[in-house]
Structure 1
Amino acid sequence: MITVSLMLATLMQTLDSTIANVALPHMQGTLSASADEITWVLTSYIVAAAIATPLTGWLSDHLGVKRLLAIAVGGFTIASAFCGLSETLPQIIGSRLLQGIFGASLVPLSQSILLDINPREKQGQAMAVWGMGVMVGPILGPTLGGWLTDSYNWRWVFFINLPVGAFALFGVLTYLPDRRKGTGHALDFFGFATLSLAIGAFQALLDRGEQLDWFGSLEIQIEALIAAISFAFFIVHTATAGKRSFFRATLLLDRNFVTGTCFIFVIGAVLYATRALLPPMLQTLMGYPVATTGLVTAPSGIGTMIAMMLAGRLLGKIEARLLLLTGFLISALALFLMMRYTIVLSRANIIWPGVIQGFGLGLVFVPLSSVSFSSLGADLRADGTAIYSLMRNLGSSLGISIIQTMVTRNTQISHSSLVGSVTPFNAAIREQFDPNSPMSMALLDRLIGQQASMIAYNDAFKLMFIATLVIVPMLVLIRKPRHHAKPDPEDLHVAMD
């Protein structure tokens, strides 16, 4: 029952990272917002969650895990109700900020508790269950959001959290034992402030960069400067403050944890960037309606769930590094198929690469979560899971921003290159298009634009394919975790009253 309650809370939080995407046009009309303004419904949630995530360790020390989790679930559920009841843009942005603040602790806390309540030989299966909520949630979010918006209205995208949150809160209060509080060390306000400012400025830079032509904008330059200076202060402070530092520098001494956070950063970038690329590609280039787009992209979640269940069972029998290598190679195969997409695609051409990629990432996620925390002490568990989740979020933000910018710019470059071949001396053009007909020339320009966009999307998939292969050699840095060790009460890290 503890696991069920935790997974309901995790699924609720991860779904909300993408479930509102397809509802934005409907919300825009209701809230009288411009296209630029309505995007803050998404970015305000991401920024608030990114800033509040590193507080998880300190809050769990002072409040206790059960109390913090109950506050997070209850606050997130109430904030969801506020989102659904919002009548103006400032109201929904404020409610989304509250959602991000309360929801920031849900994912790291659920991971930490599942690791605590399971013996070492069962932690692989526990991470498989946890990973389903973390990875399947963002994948299924647009499909569920589209169905709720079409069948009811956009407010139900948020109201759906009310029964889920109520069940999760009941389970947490009823079945989760009280765990002793930690050391209760004082909050390093300067470290938290500098890290929060760096994350907030960097997130704003990523969200606004594409609209403002990146470093050609004064706003982007200022945000980059603030992020760089704040992060520099944070690094110096962390190196000199010792045990008083907000960031537990001891985490950097664990090689598996550091390597795991690098991997999860890349996984976040590849997973979320792919999810961000496919819907606009299918809708703008191939004319898919929103509902059909959700249906053809949703099966990737099936591949993820199958792989996670399989990996949870294989982790104690097959070395984690071998599972990771297999998962990365399968993911690379899916991206290889995607970078060969053309304008004319059958639904099978879209579904199967998605299923393959979902299977590969699912095969990676479980052993990666297990080995990243296999040698981390109980006193570092809450801080470690918070940083792990933070790196996944930052990777997804950076990946989406880079890929979207790359698609926009490469579309323009490819369009210019293709137009250069359209001349009166091109026999193929003369045979099919009348240069004296405006309608014929408009059709030709439309076809050129489609091909240019397709080339840009292929280039983006190729970049993710290369990134997936480049990180594979880092597997040699992972130490082989112990398997089938006899569970010792202290080693299980269960500090329950």
Structure 2
Amino acid sequence: MANEASLDTLPPLSGGRLIGATIVLALAVFMNVLDVSIANVSIPTIAGDLAVSASQGTWIITVFAVCNAVTVPISGWLSRRFGQVRLFVFCTLLFTLFSWLCGFASNFELLLTFRGLQGAAAGPMIPISQSLLLACYPREKRGLANGIYGMTAVVGPIAGPILGGWITDHINWSWIFYINVPVGLIVAPACWLLLKDRETPVRREGVDLVGLVLLIIGVGSLQVMLDQGAEKAWFQSDYIITLSVVAAIFLCVLVIWEWTAERPIIDIHLFRDRNFAVGTILLCLGYMVFFGAIVILPLWLQTGMGYTATWAGMATASMGILGVVASPLAGRLSDKVDARYLVTFGFFVFASVSFYNSHANPFITFEQIFLPRLPWGIGTAFFFIPLMAIAFSRLPTSELAGASALLNFLRQLFLGFGTSFATTLWDDRATFHDHRLNSHLTPFDPATHQWLQRLQDQGLSLEQAQRLLANEVSHQALIMSTNDVFYVSGWIFAALMLVVWLAKSTQEESAAATAQAH
């Protein structure tokens, strides 16, 4: 590939230009990641203002993730057609425009439309920015570059909930989208000025239209099925059954087509590399569970615990704070230590925190929510950055752009899946616990009778006491369902600790690559 191979011949940057390029590309990644997490704590408010349910409000996250996932795979073709630097600048400007339009949306349908277009514009930004950043550094410092890249991705879950909560409570939720505008207008021209002479050659070539159509229909059907499954009673609905059949057929045909296509939109052959396959699978599954927890926590705090968006954002932010400190360390260690040990440690932290936080009770305080989740940020750094090191450890520079596109496509896809699975599990378990608790609340139950009598003795009518009891049951059910989500997450993280050892040692691969280069 002409444009990707040219990255091998470009000398690394140094001095102020390297610092400037790193800051600009990191800002672009930060803006992109921020826009995913910033909406989490604002979902109940947005849903209320636009007259939809809170579960429907999560479509704001999933439509962004799916549209993003669809355009990520064609970033390779787009970069060959227009050049990586030019494409990155253009997508940044489009992302900025659609962010502005999201803020102006007057109804839920318009917001979803502009949010989807925003996600589509954001799709090529992540893999192209990662490819450009890695090309700015020498090969032996690729771990450091990944650490910087990963740190910006980790900062998003911190800044997003805090900014989103404060803006929603004190200004207006529209401003969670407007804040992208000044950042985008700075990043786009700065990137062009710093990197325009490193533009990759362009060439005209056809796009894999068949693969693109299969991808859009297959992924779209699957995500709609996941989003609306709970509301339609899952497979009791012919609509959901039809979507699942369409998704299965189109995705299976997509895999077969891409395996034999001359210029595939998704280079499935990259999975022949064991480390790329293991790293990608772990990153997708881990990110799915990781992001599901980030979505559920602010929803629970606002709908079940009476938190404002600001305080829910503050509580959620603890899940990423220590990641800012740990990310550079994880990046440096990835160059010196077998990344499998680092990933195992990261998943161990995730599992431990998840199990510990699966014991919430109605009297839990802000400190008891905030402090135990602080180690989550360390787990994020030692999971995200070393897994990228594993995935890319055996790939030549000429394949980095395609590999990054495929990895980020699947990561974004699983982000949407994680949101849908987590909210569905949370809703289902809340309903289960609500029914189970209510089954014990009968006029013949001494404890129930005593509880209602105590409230009536305090001046409440029987109807008011019963209403208060129903609210308490609902509150308890939400706590128990949140505990269930974290408990399941803990076991998944524990299982992933074992899977990472299917990969080969990154230290051996690094030594082999160095010997081959000489």
Question: What TM-score, normalized to structure 2?
Answer: 0.87
Q: Does 1:223 align with 2:248?
A: no
Q: Does 1:121 align with 2:146?
A: no
Residue aligned with 2:359, SS? coil
Whole-angstrom CA distance in 2 between matches of 1:252 and 1:182? 27
Shift of 1:335: 0.2
Shift of 1:178: 2.3
Q: Does 1:413 align with 2:413?
A: no
The answer for the alignment partner of 2:99 in structure 1 is 80
Shift of 1:263: 0.8
Q: Does 1:190 align with 2:224?
A: no
Whole-angstrom CA distance in 1 between matches of 2:150 and 2:109? 34
Select between 297-306 and 209-218 the one with higher mean Cα deviation: 209-218
Indicate conservation of the 8 Å contact 1:73/1:165, yes or no: yes
Q: Equivalent pairs: percent with the same residue?
A: 32
Residue aligned with 2:201, SS? coil
Equivalent residue in structure 2 for 1:348, among 356, 361, 367 = 367
Indicate conservation of the 8 Å contact 1:301/1:358, yes or no: yes
Judged with a 3 Å threshold, the aligned counterparts in structure 2 of structure 1 residues 351 and 18 are, in CA distance, closer, same or farther, namely same
Q: Does 1:167 align with 2:186?
A: yes
Residue aligned with 2:214, SS? helix
1:73-130, Cα deviation, whole Å (9 max, x unpaired): 1111122222233445554443223211211111111222222222233111211111
1:140-178, Cα deviation, whole Å (9 max, x unpaired): 323212222333223322221111111211221011142
Equivalent residue in structure 1 for 2:501, among 473, 476, 482 = 476
Q: Does 1:295 align with 2:320?
A: no
Shift of 1:264: 0.9
Whole-angstrom CA distance in 2 between matches of 1:39 and 1:351? 23
Indicate conservation of the 8 Å contact 1:194/1:234, yes or no: yes
Shift of 1:447: 2.4
Indicate conservation of the 8 Å contact 2:66/2:413, yes or no: no
The answer for the alignment partner of 1:233 in structure 2 is 253
Indicate conservation of the 8 Å contact 1:119/1:487, yes or no: no
Indicate conservation of the 8 Å contact 1:336/1:461, yes or no: yes
Whole-angstrom CA distance in 1 between matches of 2:263 and 2:513? 33
Q: Does 1:466 align with 2:491?
A: yes
Indicate conservation of the 8 Å contact 1:121/1:485, yes or no: no
The answer for the alignment partner of 2:346 in structure 1 is 327
Indicate conservation of the 8 Å contact 2:322/2:374, yes or no: yes
Shift of 1:474: 1.2
Matched letter for residue 215 of structure 1: F
Select between 444-453 and 226-235 the one with higher mean Cα deviation: 444-453
Matched letter for residue 475 of structure 2: Q
Shift of 1:62: 1.7
Residue aligned with 1:388, SS? helix
Judged with a 3 Å threshold, the aligned counterparts in structure 2 of structure 1 residues 249 and 406 are, in CA distance, closer, same or farther, namely closer
Judged with a 3 Å threshold, the aligned counterparts in structure 2 of structure 1 residues 2 and 145 are, in CA distance, closer, same or farther, namely same
Matched letter for residue 180 of structure 1: T
Judged with a 3 Å threshold, the aligned counterparts in structure 2 of structure 1 residues 88 and 361 are, in CA distance, closer, same or farther, namely closer
Select between 138-147 and 120-129 the one with higher mean Cα deviation: 138-147
Residue aligned with 1:315, SS? helix
Whole-angstrom CA distance in 2 between matches of 1:218 and 1:326? 44
Q: Does 1:448 align with 2:468?
A: no
- Give the length in aligned residue pairs: 490
Matched letter for residue 236 of structure 1: I
Indicate conservation of the 8 Å contact 2:84/2:199, yes or no: yes
Indicate conservation of the 8 Å contact 1:206/1:397, yes or no: no
Indicate conservation of the 8 Å contact 1:146/1:294, yes or no: yes
Whole-angstrom CA distance in 2 between matches of 1:430 and 1:87? 49
Whole-angstrom CA distance in 2 between matches of 1:486 and 1:116? 20
Shift of 1:39: 5.5
* 1:48-197 correspondence runs (5 A): 48-176=67-195, 177-181=197-201, 185-197=205-217
Q: Does 1:370 align with 2:389?
A: yes
Shift of 1:210: 2.4
Residue aligned with 1:281, SS? helix
Residue aligned with 1:342, SS? coil
Indicate conservation of the 8 Å contact 1:320/1:371, yes or no: yes
Whole-angstrom CA distance in 1 between matches of 2:48 and 2:372? 35
Whole-angstrom CA distance in 2 between matches of 1:151 and 1:420? 42
Matched letter for residue 458 of structure 1: N
Question: What TM-score, normalized to structure 1?
Answer: 0.91
* 1:365-404 correspondence runs (5 A): 365-404=384-423
Judged with a 3 Å threshold, the aligned counterparts in structure 2 of structure 1 residues 473 and 89 are, in CA distance, closer, same or farther, namely closer
The answer for the alignment partner of 1:209 in structure 2 is 229
Judged with a 3 Å threshold, the aligned counterparts in structure 2 of structure 1 residues 293 and 38 are, in CA distance, closer, same or farther, namely closer
Matched letter for residue 222 of structure 2: F
Name structure 1 gaps, 5 residues minimum. 493-497
Select between 140-149 and 39-48 the one with higher mean Cα deviation: 39-48
CA-atom RMSD, angstroms? Answer: 2.7
Residue aligned with 1:381, SS? helix
